[in-house]
């Protein structure tokens, strides 16, 4: 019978590379295990393992905050942080940004990766265990749930999905090289940086978020141009009205951005009219993609209800999903705010809701 995390690791994970351990007191047994125990193929892990109270899927402000709260509630959370691949980076979106200036508690701002590392360390110090593995399947149809990682699997009494969302990018020559050097996907995050102030900025998109980005940027920029490939916008009438009424904003219709130029930061952009094929070069300091976000939910294979925007549907004012004991936190369930602080806030809520639900279920078991 396996009773503790350290026994669990000791027995099942003698040779897994990339395994990160959790609470400090677990580290020595794992290190010993790495040296002393024979190899066990992780794929052969039996499903009869004792379920863990809480498994958290994803990494980022929502996941690490949930891990802090769940660990402090003695729920021994295991975090599947995701592995390093072309499409994902453990730590989440903030790993790709230099400066975060709107997260409370850091009057001079803080580097995105440092903020993430601090949250992660706090979660580990609170007692959470971390696995740098991507979850490939989650069987939410049986209980306890079964979470299948790339190498390991784990049963869980409660699951918190905090896999975030990826801002959609358009493949434009120069965009990759100048990402976060004038090219961004978040006006609220980056728009007020000195780099953009009093300069001509470009927004790509035609929906409500593009209008919101343009209106936000217009507070700081000398001019904002929305580049839209059609001759009409998808945005709501109210948003269009606000945009048309703003003297700093213009719309470049029927056009696509064909190149972003610059050495260290964005210096100019080339816009092509789709009808005439005429190209025009504009001086520019920034380009903001506003072409939607894709929530990272593919591994769920439709088991949780999603809303019209593809984010996990949660009950109003709650992180509860369509399946009891499964919670969703952060950008994977938020199509409106998408900020580090709102992600952290919902991570806290998910852990507290999981703790209460598990406690209640335990009380009911005892009573029956």
Ligand X SMILES: Cc1cc2nc3c(=O)[nH]c(=O)nc-3n(C[C@H](O)[C@H](O)[C@H](O)COP(=O)(O)OP(=O)(O)OC[C@H]3O[C@@H](n4cnc5c(N)ncnc54)[C@H](O)[C@@H]3O)c2cc1C
Q: Which residues bind ligand X (CB under 6 A)?
A: 57-63, 80-82, 88-90, 92-94, 96-97, 100, 102-103, 134-135, 162-165, 167, 180, 185-186, 189, 296, 299, 330-332, 338-341, 343
Nearer to ligand X, 10 or 120 (CB): 120
Q: How far is the CB of 181 from ligand X (least distance, A)?
A: 11
Q: Exactly one of 111, 139, 190, 231 is catalytic; name it.
A: 190
Nearer to ligand X, 186 or 270 (CB): 186
Catalytic, 208? Answer: no
Nearer to ligand X, 66 or 227 (CB): 66
Q: How far is the CB of 289 from ligand X (least distance, A)?
A: 10
Tell me the C-alpha distance between 25 and 42, whole Å.
Answer: 23
Catalytic, 190? Answer: yes
Tell me the C-alpha distance between 9 and 29, whole Å.
Answer: 8
Q: How far is the CB of 367 from ligand X (least distance, A)?
A: 36
Q: Exactly one of 186, 254, 307, 334 is catalytic; name it.
A: 186
Q: How far is the CB of 214 from ligand X (least distance, A)?
A: 18
Nearer to ligand X, 185 or 210 (CB): 185
Q: How far is the CB of 336 from ligand X (least distance, A)?
A: 11
Q: How far is the CB of 88 from ligand X (least distance, A)?
A: 4
Nearer to ligand X, 87 or 237 (CB): 87
Nearer to ligand X, 132 or 255 (CB): 132
Instruction: Determine the residue with CB nearest ligand X.
Output: 164
Q: Exactly one of 189, 231, 334, 348 is catalytic; name it.
A: 189
Active site residues: 186, 189-190
């Amino acid at each position: 019978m396996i009773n503790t995390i350290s026994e669990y690791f000791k027995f099942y994970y003698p040779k897994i590379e990339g395994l990160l351990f959790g609470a400090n007191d677990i580290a020595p047994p794992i290190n010993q295990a790495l040296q002393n125990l024979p190899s066990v193929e992780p794929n052969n892990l039996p499903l009869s393992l004792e379920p863990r109270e809480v498994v958290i899927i994803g990494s980022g402000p929502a996941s690490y905050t949930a891990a802090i709260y769940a660990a402090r509630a003695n729920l021994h959370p295991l975090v599947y942080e995701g592995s390093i691949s072309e499409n994902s980076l453990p730590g989440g979106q903030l790993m790709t940004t230099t400066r975060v200036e709107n997260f409370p508690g850091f009057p001079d701002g803080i580097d995105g990766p440092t903020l993430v590392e601090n949250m992660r360390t706090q979660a580990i110090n609170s007692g959470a265990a971390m696995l740098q593995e991507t979850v490939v399947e989650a069987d939410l149809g049986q209980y306890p749930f079964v979470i299948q990682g790339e190498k390991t699997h784990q049963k869980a009494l409660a699951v918190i999905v905090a896999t975030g969302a990826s801002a959609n990018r358009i493949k434009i020559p120069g965009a990759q090289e100048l990402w976060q050097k004038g090219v961004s996907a978040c006006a609220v995050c980056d728009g007020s940086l000195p780099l953009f102030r009093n300069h001509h900025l470009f927004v790509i998109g035609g929906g409500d978020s593009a209008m919101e980005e343009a209106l936000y940027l217009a507070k700081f920029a000398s001019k904002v141009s929305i580049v839209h490939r059609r001759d009409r916008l998808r945005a709501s009438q109210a948003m269009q009205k606000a945009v048309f009424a703003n003297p700093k904003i213009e719309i470049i219709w029927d056009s696509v951005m064909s190149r972003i130029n610059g050495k260290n930061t964005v210096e100019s952009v080339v816009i092509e009219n789709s009808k005439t094929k005429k190209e025009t070069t504009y001086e520019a300091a920034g380009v903001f993609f506003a072409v939607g976000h894709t929530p990272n939910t593919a591994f769920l294979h439709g088991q949780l209800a999603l809303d019209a925007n593809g984010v996990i549907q949660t009950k109003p004012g709650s992180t509860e999903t369509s399946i009891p004991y499964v919670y969703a936190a952060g950008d994977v369930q938020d199509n409106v705010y998408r900020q580090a602080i709102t992600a952290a806030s919902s991570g806290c809520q998910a852990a507290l809701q999981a703790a209460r639900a598990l406690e209640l279920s335990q009380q009911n078991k005892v009573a029956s």
